[in-house]
């Protein structure tokens, strides 16, 4: 049974039998990714955890409708985004906060496995460079590279087009190339290759979906 089938099986048990063990497994399967996503918006460990817990509380309360959700991962990320904005709006005492308003922060330990062989100094440089990207570009990079999401999923979660995602990735490549100009051409090309090759492949695949 692959991961998608396992998730579907868990959802069926939760929806039909109110299976608490299956719900716990579902929670553990998604918590880390959703927590990092929420934290990148809220910048509070406590409230990011609360936001994700609120999302799963809603899932449990509406468990009978789980069978109607076509893409659970997208649904969870969209719910977490909305819940995180709710918390952020409470902090700021204002409404209609958007992804353009938040300070998305990227941690070096979130870099992809392909970059694991880089030295800690290089990884720190990459982290600093990524954190100089525009917030939404940075978030698109995180979702595409760290979470391994398809562009179609990202477009649904962030409510932007696949072409816009392509533009964000192109912007990231251009800006990172400029920021990493102190590296030799060979080093810079290697870093960009490791960071973006998978994204470029996803771009081609997603245009075929």
* pLDDT 10s digits, 133-170: 888 888 888 888 777 888 999 999 988 999 999 999 88
Query: From CA 90, how far away is CA 173, in angstroms rounded?
Result: 35
CA geometry: angle 97, 91, 81, nearest 5 deg? 45
**Among 111-125, 162-176, 177-191, which stretch is predicted with the lowest mean pLDDT?**
111-125
Domains in the chain and their CATH numbers? 3-92 (1.10.1740.10), 108-208 (1.10.10.10)
pTM reported for the whole predicted model: 0.74
C-alpha 27: how far from chain center: 16
Q: How far is CA 155 from CA 10, 51, 80, in A?
A: 26, 22, 15
Query: From CA 130, how far away is CA 142, in angstroms rounded?
Result: 10
CA geometry: angle 33, 144, 126, nearest 5 deg? 90
């Amino acid at each position: 049974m692959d991961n998608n089938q396992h998730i579907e099986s868990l959802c069926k048990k939760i929806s039909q039998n109110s299976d608490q063990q299956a719900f716990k497994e579902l929670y553990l399967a998604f918590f880390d990714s959703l927590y990092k996503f929420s934290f990148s918006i809220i910048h509070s460990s406590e409230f990011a955890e609360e936001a994700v817990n609120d999302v799963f509380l809603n899932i449990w309360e509406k468990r009978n409708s789980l069978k109607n959700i076509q893409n659970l991962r997208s649904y969870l990320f969209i719910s977490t985004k909305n819940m995180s904005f709710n918390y952020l709006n409470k902090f700021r005492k204002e409404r209609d906060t958007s992804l353009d308003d938040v300070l998305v922060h990227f941690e070096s330990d979130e870099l992809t496995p392909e970059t694991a062989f880089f030295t800690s100094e290089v990884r720190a440089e990459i982290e600093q460079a990524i954190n100089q990207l525009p917030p939404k570009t940075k978030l698109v990079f995180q979702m595409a590279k760290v979470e391994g999401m398809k562009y179609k999923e990202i477009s649904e979660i962030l409510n932007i087009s696949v072409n816009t995602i392509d533009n964000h990735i192109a912007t990231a490549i251009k800006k990172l190339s400029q920021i990493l100009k102190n590296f030799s051409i060979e080093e810079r090309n290697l870093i960009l290759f490791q960071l973006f090759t998978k994204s470029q492949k996803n771009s081609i695949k997603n245009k075929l979906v």
